[in-house]
Chains A and B, each alone.
Chain A
């Protein structure tokens, strides 16, 4: 059974610092990996999707890497801003599109 783990569970950084969020999964037979952002009282916003054949994906200040063989992904957020404060979730998809989520990393960026 696939298990997804996110470390750390919570993270607080001053504005301007880079954020590094880690995600690991136990079964490397994934179809893709997605990073989401969840704001309090709101739904999920997709940030990046990495196909199983890819090693990296970038969007603006966000960069996500994927090492499928070792079961790891890392989300980097450069030059953090207070607006980046949210819970970040990683999820792996199987061939049916079903997502298995990690517990999330709660990020606070202080001005």
Chain B
């Protein structure tokens, strides 16, 4: 298993500003993902952040809006840039297995970051 922490746990931000969310894992993992959960909705994948390669973004998400860093096997950040009220969501990071996972392993989620944009 993996224990994941996220910072901040919640924040209230002004329109036009940016927020960087941190994700820390207690073990080295290769596969890491960032998801968004808009109010009343289910989770949607934003991007895959595997160490050693550029993040790959899903349709509808772009690097300029959601830049991601993955400097090592235990840490990643997601920045929500130039925020608008539509960005108000819960942002979650997740990891698969350990350092040499295969996609069939259980995916573990962080507690999420609750963002409200005014």
Contacts and interface: CB of A to CB of B under 8 A. Distances in A.
Interface of A: 31-32, 34, 36, 42-46, 49, 51-52, 89, 91, 93-104
Contact of B103 (A36, A89, A97): A97
B42 A104 contact: yes
Contact of B107 (A93, A95, A103, A104): A93
Interface stretch (B14-22, B78-86, B108-116): B108-116
B85 to A, nearest CB: 21
Interface string B11-40: 000000000000000000001010100000
B7 to A, nearest CB: 14
A89 B35 CA distance: 14
A45 B35 CA distance: 15
Contacts of A42: 111-112
B107 A46 contact: yes
Nearest to A96: B103
Which 3 pairs show the lowest CB-CB distances between chains A and B? A97-B103, A44-B109, A43-B111
A101 B43 contact: yes
Interface in B38-55: 41-45, 48
B68 interface: no
Contacts of B103: 31-32, 93-97
Contacts of A91: 43, 107
Contacts of A31: 103-104
Given A96-B48, A97-B33, A98-B48, A46 B106 contact: yes
B96 interface: yes
Contacts of B43: 44, 89, 91, 99, 101
A56 B42 CA distance: 25
Interface string B72-112: 00000000000000000000101010000101111111111
29 contacts: A31-B104, A32-B103, A32-B104, A43-B109, A43-B110, A43-B112, A44-B43, A44-B92, A44-B94, A45-B109, A46-B107, A49-B105, A89-B42, A91-B43, A93-B103, A95-B103, A96-B103, A97-B48, A97-B96, A97-B101, A97-B103, A98-B45, A99-B43, A100-B45, A101-B42, A101-B44, A102-B42, A103-B41, A103-B42
